[in-house]
Amino acid sequence: MEGRLVFPLPPEEPLSRVQRWAHAIAVLTALLGFALGFLLKAQIVGATTPFRDLAAGVLAQYPAGWLLDTQGDYVFRARDPGAPGYRTTLQVALVPIGPDATSRSIVDGLTLERAQTLAGYQVNGTEPFTLPDGDEATRLEYAYAETESNPFLQSLPVVVRGVDIVTIKRGQAIIITFRVEQDRFEDEFWRLEQFLATLELL
Amino acid sequence: MKTSFGGSNSSWRRWNCSKWMVVLLLVGLIVGRVDVPRSAAAQGSLDADNIARATVFLAGVYDVPGGRAISCVGTGTFVSSDGLILTNAHNVTDSVRCPVDDIAVSLTLRLGEPPVPTYYAEVVDYNLGLDLAVLRVAREIDGRVIDRSMLSLPFVELGDSNQLRLDDTITVFGYPGLGEDPVESTRGTVVGFLAEANVGERAWIKTEASIPGVMSGGGAFDSQGRLIGIPTTAPAGTSGTALDCRRVQDTNGDSLVDSRDNCIPVAGFINALRPAALARGLVRAAQWGIRDRGHQFSGQVVAPAGDSAPTFGRLFFSPAVNEAGLPTTRVTQLPAGANSLYLFFDFANMRPGTVYELRVTVNGIPNPRFSLSPALWSGPERGLWYIGSSGQPWPNGTYEFTLFIEGIPVGDERITIGGPAQATPQFSDIAFGLLDFRGNVVGSGYVLPSGNVASALFIYRDMIDGIPWEQVWYYEGVEVPNGRVAGTWNLGPNGSTTISISNAQGLQPGRYRLELSIQGALSATADFVIAGAQQGAFAQVFENLRVANLLTDETLGSAGSTSFPNTITDLYALIDWRLLAPNTPWTYRWLLDGSTLFEHTEGWVAPESGSNFWIALGSDLHLPDGTYTLELRVGDLPPVTVSARVGLGQLPVVQGNTASGVRMSGQIVDAQTGEGIPGALFILLEAEFSVQDFVWDESQIFGVSLSDSQGRFEIARLLPRDALYSVVVVAAGYLPVSADGIVVEADAQEPVILRLEMNRDL
Amino acid sequence: MTTFDASLLSPPSPREDVYPYRRVWRTTAYETGVLIAGALAVNLAGSLLDIHLDARQRPLVTALLALMPLALWLLFSYRGERRARRPREGLLPSIVVSILAANAATAPFVDEVIAPETWLSAASGLVRILGYTLTVGLAFEFSKYLILRVMAWPKRFERRIDAVAYSLAVSLAFATVLNLRFALLEGGGQPGAAALRIVSTVLVQQAAGLVVAYRLMVLKFGTPRLFSLAISLLAGSFLIGFHTAFRAGLTVGSFGVGATGNTPLLGFGFSVAFGVAVFALFAFLIATADARDVRPSAPGRR
């Protein structure tokens, strides 16, 4: 084999105008593309589906692609089927109350009831809250360990953080529940905010 | 076959034969289907896995210094998906030997492994006499209250035990130890049925299967996997036999496990089952949340006769039982080929929960088929009882029947079966009534209205004129004045005749007995009751039956109602009664839409006559829609009934609570690693929806399961057969998978097991 | 007098210039062929021998497999480069910079900011293609473009084929980072599945990278147009987006009782065909461009 020859690089020629602009346009295109991409992401992630129950007086938008359940003792419940671990839940329930009930007393009642059925239930805070439409409410934050109800499956308990917003309207208590696995609580909280912004209580 | 060719032809023929065999085999595989014979277990319908999962280990727990201890153990079976358990009453009711503060329920979570404590249960209702109880899962093992609507537990359906035949195969499931052994099954055959008073011909199912005592309360299943019997025996240590008691815990807090600690009794072996038919009413009532509220009246209860020791006496045999539960005649010997025999005896001072036992020997050898292992008393306090069987052969031999109460022998009697039938003078088939103007005995047969005269009609056979015979009348166990009449027979060999008893002041309401003897030996006997006012030839005891939902002065005085809204919690049947003596056996039965819920027979505790005696049933929430009927009976009088409609008057239809179907389970794994994916959502759609139709509405979903830490999932509800299902599976970070056309064949027996691999995006 | 010269019976052989460069397509063909064959062999061995690694072994084995493409490149391409008379000196530095950039910037940006598994995995087909194109694809292609622009273009693009050489190297570096992250951060996979995935990643990254590289080549050697680079950037991104969506659709099959619903070989086959087709296309384009240079153009034509 012949010895290698070293060929120095040719002197760098200045770029032509077209070349310079081509690069600049490429960079701008990339940035624009990213913007469109993130816009698409925001659209997909934030897509919602309308829910109407005129009998119950509830209009809302819940996240698209979530499992909707209207069969239980609530107006509706939507759960994220793709959430890892605990399925993030948004729920609206109506509870008849007496004339002297306050949202705070209802919250206390919820606590007493849940302490019987939810493992490791503890309240993390109760404070007044104002709904986007100006209605006064009480916000209850709590946590508990979600366990598998099917004893034949072996799952580790999952720590769930929940937020209940309780308001009284037309002689009944409206309980808005948001529950998410505690690791993703901060990342998913915007869903509650989005939901509350679209919620109409007739 | 002769061939004109040489060796080459034979090789050609061999090759040709092989070729044709191959062709035929290929054709067979392509066109037809090679049916591989399934195992016997697969060919039957008994889903052993489902039954094993539905069989639970029960432990009564009570508080001791430093914690909780187990007092008694047994087995039970889930009979509904929301956690109703059928078991023996003695397993779960508080007693001196078995203190019970709580009932721990352990489930077989993995087949082949011991059960794992999973829930606490509470008693919904029980019948101590039949030794049957229904429990309901109430709390998780950590004490949390359970939302029963979330439960979807494996369960079994009750079968019709009345369809069972001799030699039918049954399989008994239960836990043989103290919870350290997995569930076991024992197969056997039905070798007989025992009859008892108050219950009928099928009070017990006898099997030769050897069932450990700890399996008491478990389930016996027919070949279709339906529960047809509950292995039942009295609590260990209550029959006077040696007690096998295991000490496993420090119950007195002294850091030692020794003879000063309580032990867990373990009974011997069981060979008798309570038929599932006896539990059906209890289970149905528990499913609908209905309880028997008992009965009461505004007056003084007639005090019981005192706390004397229970006794059995006057043992004798009869070849048959009539429709009133009375012996047709008395025999001391039966010819060869006898297939029916009953032991009758008087009982007194018996209470529900008293342990009694019948041991039968044939030629000195114990015969478990006709014996009754220790059982809890299910009858009233006093009266005439029988145990026996019919429809099955009694082998020739000398039989000795010995009765025990709490393990102590209290009476025995012998009979010989074999040899030719002997024509001996005999009385039989005593029936009671009033004499009409033609001298015929008319009436119900064993309940007469109050009056001055009571007549008895009986049949005589092979009598010889001139032999002495005697009639003796008793009232409440005491011979009535002038009630003994002796004489010499002069009515010929065969026929029927009538005898009477009278009292100018009127015969007192109460229980009477007639004994007919021939040559000093009892030949026939029967009991009858005088109660109620005369209504033609019949007695009218109960009247003015009405129903109310509240007990107020207003309702007590009203005519009641026949229709109620479905928001009520109680129903009261109010009755007036006449001339019903205390301790007279009477029966009340509640029915819902024609099916029995509760039935009780006991002695009357109210005064002879009165009004506003109420019998009630109720619910903690509200009574379900339906037509409720109360039946009252005294003896063989036609029952009097009263009905009321609640709501629509018909029980609502409950879908999905069937134990027939196929289980679907499986595992969801990562396609790259092969490891299970925890938290994946497995969605099984209702059969009418395809994946394309699915709009993420839970009303379209048949069942859903979140995979566990190993990626395993299980649809709790059983899938109806002969259907196509669609599945959607989603997991965070993985590409969703879906499929239509998951087939569950019409004859599918095996669970549907799926293994799904999911991929991440690249 | 006439003399007979035997040596002139056969015409003199034309004088051939020694090709001083590494034959890029040849070495690439060797590498790709060995990769594909190796992946299939590992997959087959994994199935036949029922190899099942536990959670401790998987990352190590997967990481070893992830380094195989780079090892093959070193064996064939880089060794070929060292043995050529005019080696391309910038290849190794480009690879190093690419690895660093991919691991430090691009891959974390894709995983944590774009996070496609949270919104694209369950989306419909067209949305997936568009989504992957404008996010993941664009991130990778823009990163490769920047690296090529800084490390190789224009000075190291002495011949058209240099674009291919540098593009393949940079793309290989990105693919290696992705595969190593799969092995070490995601736990890897069983050898058979991992091998298929690793090779698929290499093929799609290299194929997509050729689009931008080709346009950079034209920008230097051809008639540069203002928007062509931007369009190529989007085209390369689209190849990644299309490949991701389509491959997933082929891999995820319908399941049933007895069938797991996974057809990885189908997806792998698509990746191979995809990669080979793109390689072939650009090989053709570059060859015809080179041939046009050798053949003088007709008067009046450029």
Residue-wise pLDDT for B122-135, tens only, equals 999 999 889 999 99
pLDDT at C301: 39
Supply the range of the domain harboring residue C143.
21-251+264-290
Cβ of B737 within 8 Å of Cβ of C252? The answer is yes
* Cβ partners under 8 Å of residue B215, min gap 6: B74, B75, B172, B173, B174, B175, B176, B184, B186, B231, B270
* pLDDT higher than 80, residue B513: yes
Least CB-CB distance to A152: which of B109, B144, B698? B109
Q: Are B194 and B272 in contact (CB under 8 A)?
A: yes
Q: Which candidate, A37, A36, A87, A93, places its Cα nearest to that of A65?
A: A87
* Cβ partners under 8 Å of residue B565, min gap 6: B646, B647
Q: Which of A149, A160, A181, A183 to mutate to test the interface with B (most CBs of B within 10 A)?
A: A149
pLDDT at B194: 94
Span B554-589, pLDDT tens digits: 877 788 889 999 899 999 999 999 999 988 989 999
The structural domains of chain A, with segments of one domain joined by +, span: 48-201
Cβ of A82 within 8 Å of Cβ of C122? The answer is yes
C163-222 residues touching A, CB cutoff 8 A = 219-220
Cα B78 to Cα B218: distance, rounded to the nearest angstrom: 10
Cβ of C197 within 8 Å of Cβ of B672? The answer is yes
Query: Which residue reads 């948004």 in tokens?
Result: A90
pLDDT at C260: 73
Question: What count of residues does chain B have?
Answer: 762
Least CB-CB distance to B145: which of A65, A116, A150? A116
Span of A108-122, B42-56, B515-529, C170-184 with lowest mean pLDDT: B42-56
Question: What count of residues does chain C have?
Answer: 302
* pLDDT higher than 90, residue B435: no
Q: Are B220 and B229 in contact (CB under 8 A)?
A: yes
Give Cα separations from B693 to A4, A51, B701, B725, C166 (angstroms): 69, 19, 11, 12, 50
Cβ of A37 within 8 Å of Cβ of C229? The answer is no
Span C121-164, pLDDT tens digits: 888 889 999 999 999 999 999 999 999 999 998 888 888 899 99
* pLDDT higher than 90, residue A177: yes
Considering the domain boundaries, does residue C5 fall inside one?
A: no
Span C87-129, pLDDT tens digits: 888 999 999 999 999 999 999 999 999 999 889 888 888 999 9
Confidence of residue B8 (pLDDT cuts 50, 70, 90): very low
- Chain B residue at shortest CA distance from A69: B698
For the residues B10-38, what does the mean pLDDT come to?
52
Q: Chains touching chain B at 3 or more Cβ pairs under 8 angstroms?
A: A, C
Q: B743: alpha, beta or left, given left = phi > 0 and alpha = psi -120 to 50?
A: beta
Considering the domain boundaries, does residue C301 fall inside one?
A: no
Least CB-CB distance to A149: which of B150, B698, B701? B150
CATH no., domain A48-201: 3.40.1000.10
Overall domain count for chain C: 1
Question: ∠C210-C211-C215 over CA atoms, to 5°?
Answer: 110
Cα A55 to Cα A120: distance, rounded to the nearest angstrom: 36
pLDDT at B704: 92
Q: Which of A44, A87, A180 to mutate to test the interface with C (most CBs of C within 10 A)?
A: A44
Cβ of B699 within 8 Å of Cβ of A81? The answer is no
* pLDDT higher than 50, residue B36: no
Q: Give the minimum alpha-carbon distance from B691 to chain A in angstroms, rounded to a whole number.
A: 14
Q: Are B56 and B234 in contact (CB under 8 A)?
A: no
Residue B14 corresponds to which tokens in the numbers above?
Answer: 């061999």
Question: ∠B259-B261-B266 over CA atoms, to 5°?
Answer: 85
Which chain A residues touch B57 with a CB distance below 8 Å? none
Span C231-253, pLDDT tens digits: 999 999 999 999 999 898 888 87
Handedness of CA B692, B698, B702, B703 (dihedral sign): positive
Q: Are B226 and B279 in contact (CB under 8 A)?
A: no
Q: Give the minimum alpha-carbon distance from A54 to chain C in angstroms, rounded to a whole number.
A: 31
Confidence of residue B427 (pLDDT cuts 50, 70, 90): very high
Main-chain dihedrals φ then ψ at residue C28, nearest 5 degrees: -65, -40
Residue B534 corresponds to which tokens in the numbers above?
Answer: 């005369």
Q: Which of C18, C91, C118, C134 to mutate to test the interface with A (most CBs of A within 10 A)?
A: C134
DSSP labels, B596-655: EEEEEEEE--S-SSEEEEEEEEEESS-PPSEEEEEEEESTTSPPEEEEEEETTSSPPP--
Q: Give the three-class secondary structure for B581.
A: coil
Q: Which residues of B690-726 are buried (b: 16+ CB within 10 A; e: fewer)?
A: ebeebebebebbbbbbbbbebbbbbbbbbbbeebebb
Task: Report strand pairing: B355-362 vs B372-376.
Answer: antiparallel
Cα B505 to Cα B489: distance, rounded to the nearest angstrom: 30
pLDDT at B42: 39
For chain B, give the mean pLDDT: 87
Cβ of B673 within 8 Å of Cβ of C190? The answer is yes
Q: Chains touching chain A at 3 or more Cβ pairs under 8 angstroms?
A: B, C
Q: Give the minimum alpha-carbon distance from B666 to chain C in angstroms, rounded to a whole number.
A: 10
Cβ of A116 within 8 Å of Cβ of B144? The answer is yes
Q: Which candidate, B102, B155, B95, places its Cα nearest to that of B131?
A: B95
- Chain B residue at shortest CA distance from A65: B696
Q: Which residue has the higher pLDDT, B75 or B380?
A: B75
User: Of all helices (H) and strands (E), which one includes residue B322?
Assistant: none
Q: Which of B681, B700, B738 to mutate to test the interface with A (most CBs of A within 10 A)?
A: B681
pLDDT at B13: 59
Most confident of B142-151, C238-247, C287-296: C238-247
Give Cα separations from A131 to A126, A135, A186, A191, A192 (angstroms): 15, 5, 20, 15, 11
Span A91-114, pLDDT tens digits: 999 988 888 888 888 888 889 888
Q: Which of B757, B758, B760 to mutate to test the interface with C (most CBs of C within 10 A)?
A: B757
Look at the pTM and tell me if it is higher than 0.90.
no
Q: Give the minimum alpha-carbon distance from B29 to chain C in angstroms, rounded to a whole number.
A: 19
Q: Which of C203, C257, C263, C270 to mutate to test the interface with B (most CBs of B within 10 A)?
A: C257
Span A162-176, pLDDT tens digits: 999 999 988 889 999
Which chain C residues touch B675 with a CB distance below 8 Å? 55
Confidence of residue B96 (pLDDT cuts 50, 70, 90): confident
Cα B685 to Cα B703: distance, rounded to the nearest angstrom: 7
Q: What is the DSSP letter of C133?
A: I
pLDDT at C211: 95
Span B286-321, pLDDT tens digits: 999 999 988 887 666 665 555 689 999 999 999 999
Considering the domain boundaries, does residue C1 fall inside one?
A: no
Q: C154: alpha, beta or left, given left = phi > 0 and alpha = psi -120 to 50?
A: alpha
- A170 CA to centre of own chain: 28
Query: How would you class B535 by CB atoms within 10 Å of its CB: exposed for 0-12, middle for 13-18, buried for 19 or more?
Result: exposed
Number of Cα atoms under 13 Å in the Cβ half of residue B655: 3
For the segment(s) B48-249+261-287, the CATH number from 3.90.1580.10, 3.10.580.10, 2.40.30.10, 2.40.10.120 is 2.40.10.120
Cβ of A19 within 8 Å of Cβ of C219? The answer is yes
Cis omega before residue C87 (within 30°)?
no
- Cα diameter, chain B: 119
CATH no., domain B541-646: 2.60.40.10
Q: Give the minimum alpha-carbon distance from A43 to chain B in angstroms, rounded to a whole number.
A: 19
CATH no., domain B311-417: 2.60.40.10
Confidence of residue B1 (pLDDT cuts 50, 70, 90): very low
Cβ of B761 within 8 Å of Cβ of C190? The answer is no
Cβ of C138 within 8 Å of Cβ of A30? The answer is yes
Which chain B residues touch C52 with a CB distance below 8 Å? 674
| Domain B662-758 of CATH type 3.40.1160.10 | no
Least CB-CB distance to B708: which of A66, A87, A154? A154
Cβ of A68 within 8 Å of Cβ of B696? The answer is yes
Which chain A residues touch C227 with a CB distance below 8 Å? 22, 25
- Chain A residue at shortest CA distance from B715: A150
B738 inside 8 A of chain A by CB: no
Q: B235: alpha, beta or left, given left = phi > 0 and alpha = psi -120 to 50?
A: beta
B709 inside 8 A of chain A by CB: yes
Cβ of B698 within 8 Å of Cβ of A156? The answer is no
Least CB-CB distance to C134: which of A1, A12, A36? A36
Query: How would you class B11 by CB atoms within 10 Å of its CB: exposed for 0-12, middle for 13-18, buried for 19 or more?
Result: exposed
Query: Which residue reads 């290929």 in tokens?
Result: B26
Cβ of A151 within 8 Å of Cβ of B146? The answer is no
DSSP labels, B417-451: E-S------EEEEEEEEEE-TTS-EESSSSEE-SS
The pLDDT > 70 percentage for chain C reads 91
* pLDDT higher than 90, residue B462: yes
* pLDDT higher than 90, residue C9: no
Span B321-355, pLDDT tens digits: 998 899 999 999 999 999 999 999 999 999 888 89
For the residues B104-123, what does the mean pLDDT come to?
94
* pLDDT higher than 70, residue B762: no
C110-139 residues touching B, CB cutoff 8 A = 116-118, 120-122
pLDDT at C155: 87
Count how many pairs of residues, chain A against chain B, have C-beta atoms within 8 Å.
Answer: 81
Which chain B residues touch C47 with a CB distance below 8 Å? none
Q: Give the three-class secondary structure for B260.
A: coil
Span A130-142, pLDDT tens digits: 998 888 899 999 9
What is the residue type of B118?
A: T
Query: Which residue reads 């622009």 in tokens?
Result: C149
Cβ of A66 within 8 Å of Cβ of B710? The answer is no
Q: Which candidate, A78, A95, A83, places its Cα nearest to that of A194?
A: A78
CA dihedral C66, C72, C74, C78 (to 10 degrees): -140
Q: Give the minimum alpha-carbon distance from B383 to chain A in angstroms, rounded to a whole number.
A: 49
Cα B60 to Cα B104: distance, rounded to the nearest angstrom: 6
Residue A180 corresponds to which tokens in the numbers above?
Answer: 């998410």
The structural domains of chain B, with segments of one domain joined by +, span: 48-249+261-287, 311-417, 426-533, 541-646, 662-758
Confidence of residue B210 (pLDDT cuts 50, 70, 90): confident
C102-141 residues touching A, CB cutoff 8 A = 114, 118-123, 127, 130-131, 133-135, 138-139
B716 inside 8 A of chain A by CB: yes
Say which CATH architecture domain B426-533 belongs to: Sandwich (2.60)
Question: What count of residues does chain A have?
Answer: 202
Residues of B with CB under 8 A from a CB of C: 670-675, 727, 730, 732-743, 752-762
Q: Give the three-class secondary structure for B317.
A: strand
Considering the domain boundaries, does residue C278 fall inside one?
A: yes
What is the residue type of B233?
A: T
* pLDDT higher than 90, residue A35: yes
Considering the domain boundaries, does residue C7 fall inside one?
A: no
One fold for both B48-249+261-287 and B426-533?
no
Cα C28 to Cα A97: distance, rounded to the nearest angstrom: 76
Q: Which candidate, B318, B483, B450, B479, places its Cα nearest to that of B384?
A: B318
Give Cα separations from B290 to A99, B93, B131 (angstroms): 33, 19, 19
Cβ of C230 within 8 Å of Cβ of A5? The answer is no
Confidence of residue B178 (pLDDT cuts 50, 70, 90): confident
Q: What is the DSSP letter of C33?
A: H
Which residues are registered as beta bridge partners of B316?
B344
Which chain A residues touch C122 with a CB distance below 8 Å? 65, 82
Q: Which residue has the higher pLDDT, B479 or B265?
A: B479
Give Cα separations from B338 to B166, B246, B300 (angstroms): 17, 44, 50
What is the residue type of B576?
A: D
Span B258-280, pLDDT tens digits: 777 777 777 677 889 999 999 99
Cβ of C135 within 8 Å of Cβ of A41? The answer is yes
